[in-house]
A and B are shown apart, each in its own frame.
Chain A
Amino acid sequence: MLNRRNFLTAAVGVAAATGLAACAKKDEGGSTGSGGGDGKIVLGFSQVGSESGWRSANTDSVKEAAKEAGYNLKFSDAQQKQENQISAIRSYITQGVDVIAFSPVVVTGWDAVLKEAKAKKIPVVLTDRSVETSDESLYVTLVGSDFTDEGRRAGKILEKVLEKAGHKGPVKIAQLEGTTGAAPAIERAKGFKEVMDADHADDWKIVVSQTGDFTRAGGKQVMAAFLQSNPDIDVLFAHNDDMGIGAIQAIEAAGKKPGKDILIVTVDGVKDGFIAMSEGKINAIVECNPLLGPQLMEVVKKVKNGETVERWIKTKEGDFMQDQAKAALPSRKY
Chain B
Amino acid sequence: MTTTPRWRALTQHHLFWPVAVLVVLLLINVPFTPDFFSIKMTDGHLYGSLVSIVLFGSPLILVAVGMTLVIATGGIDLSVGAVVAITGALTCSYISDQADQDSLSGVFLALGIGLVAAVVCGLWNGFLVARMGIQPIIATLIIMVAGRGVAQLITDGQIITINSEPYKLIGGGYWLTLPFSIFVVAAVVAVTVALTRRTALGLLVESVGGNAEASRLVGIRSMRIKIMVYVFCALCAGIAGLMISSNTSAADGNNAGLWIELDAILAVVIGGTSLLGGRFSIGGTVVGALVIQTLTTTIYTIGVPTQTNLVFKAAVVIVVCLLQSPKFRAKVFGNKFGSGAGSGAKGGGTSAATPADTAPTTAAAPKMEVS
Instruction: Report yes or no: B248 in contact with A220, Cβ–Cβ below 8 A.
Output: yes
**A10 at interface (Cβ–Cβ under 8 A)?**
no
Measured CB to CB, the closest approach of chain A to B178, in angstroms, equals 13
Contact indicator A272/B296 (Cβ below 8 Å): no
| B159 near A255: Cβ-Cβ < 8 Å | no
Do the beta carbons of B159 and A209 come within 8 Å of each other? no
Question: Is A51 on the interface with B (CB-CB < 8 A)?
Answer: yes
Interface: B77 (CB within 8 A): no
Segment among A145-153, A161-169, A246-254 that sits at the interface with chain B: A246-254
| Interchain Cβ contacts under 8 Å between A and B, 29 examples | A52-B158, A52-B254, A56-B157, A56-B158, A180-B306, A180-B307, A180-B309, A208-B300, A210-B300, A210-B309, A213-B255, A216-B250, A217-B248, A217-B256, A218-B255, A221-B296, A225-B49, A225-B52, A225-B301, A228-B36, A228-B52, A228-B301, A229-B300, A229-B302, A242-B159, A246-B248, A249-B248, A255-B43, A272-B161
**B247 at the A interface (CB under 8 A):** yes
B42 CB contact (under 8 Å) in A55, A228, A255: A255
* Contacts of B288-311 to chain A: CB distance below 8 A: 296-297, 299-303, 306-307, 309
If A211-B309, A228-B48, A246-B248 are given as contacts, then 4 extra A-B residue pairs at C-beta distance below 8 Å, sorted by A number, are: A53-B158, A177-B306, A180-B309, A217-B247
List residues of chain B with CB within 8 A of the CB of A300: none
Please give me the residue from chain A that is nearest to B307 by CB atom: A180
Check: A237 CB closer than 8 A to any chain B CB: no
Chain A residues at the B interface, C-beta cutoff of 8 Å: 50-53, 55-56, 177, 180, 208-211, 213-218, 220-222, 224-226, 228-229, 242, 245-246, 249, 253-255, 272
Dominant secondary structure at the A interface: helix
Which residue of the partner chain, among B56, B159, B299, B300, contacts A216 with CB atoms under 8 Å? B159
Tell me which residues from 28 to 44 in chain B have a Cβ below 8 Å from any Cβ of chain A: 32-33, 36, 42-43
Say which size band chain B's interface belongs to: 35 or more
Bound-state Cα–Cα, A269 to B252, Å? 17
Instruction: Select B244's contact among A217, A249, A255, A272, beta carbons within 8 Å.
Output: A217
Chain A residues within 8 Å of B326, by CB: none
What is the minimal beta-carbon distance from A220 to any residue of chain B, in angstroms?
6
Task: Find out whether the CB atom of A217 lies under 8 angstroms from the CB atom of B252.
Answer: yes
Contact B56 A221 (CB under 8 A): yes
Residues A53 and B159 in contact in the complex (CB < 8 Å), given A208-B303, A226-B300, A229-B301: yes
Q: A53-B157, A53-B159 are in contact. Are A249 and B303 (CB under 8 A)?
A: no
Among A210, A216, A222, A255, the residue within 8 A (CB) of B248 is A216
B284 interface residue (CB < 8 Å to A): no
Task: Give the residue name and chain of the B residue nearest to A52 (CB).
Answer: B157
- Residue B47 interfacial (CB < 8 Å): yes
Q: Which residues of A sit under 8 angstroms from B306, Cβ to Cβ?
A: 177, 180, 209-211
The digit string for B154-165, where 1 denotes a CB below 8 A from any CB of A, is 000111010000
* Complex contacts, B249 vs chain A, CB 8 Å: 249
Chain B neighbourhood of A209, CB < 8 A: 306
Please determine whether B300 and A55 come into contact, CB atoms closer than 8 angstroms: no
**Contact assessment for A215 and B300 in the assembled complex, using a CB-CB cutoff below 8 Å:** no
The one of A51, A52, A229, A272 in contact with B303, judged by C-beta atoms closer than 8 angstroms, is A229
Contacts of B161 in A (CB 8 A): 272
The reply to whether B297 and A215 form a contact with Cβ atoms under 8 Å apart is: no
A210 proximity list for chain B (CB < 8 A): 299-300, 306, 309
Please tell me if B209 contacts chain A, counting CB pairs below 8 Å: no
Chain B, range 155-179, C-beta contacts under 8 Å to A: 157-159, 161, 172
Query: If the complex has contacts A51-B254, A52-B254, A210-B306, are A225 and B300 also in contact, measured as CB distance less than 8 A?
Result: yes
Partner among B33, B152, B159, B309 whose Cβ is within 8 Å of the Cβ of A229? B33
Chain A residues, Cβ within 8 Å of B256: 217
A56 to B157, CA, bound (A): 8
Among A56, A228, A249, A272, contact of B159 (Cβ-Cβ < 8 Å): A272
Smallest distance from the beta carbon of B276 to chain A beta carbons, Å? 33
Contact B52 A224 (CB under 8 A): yes
A106 → B minimal CB distance (Å) = 18
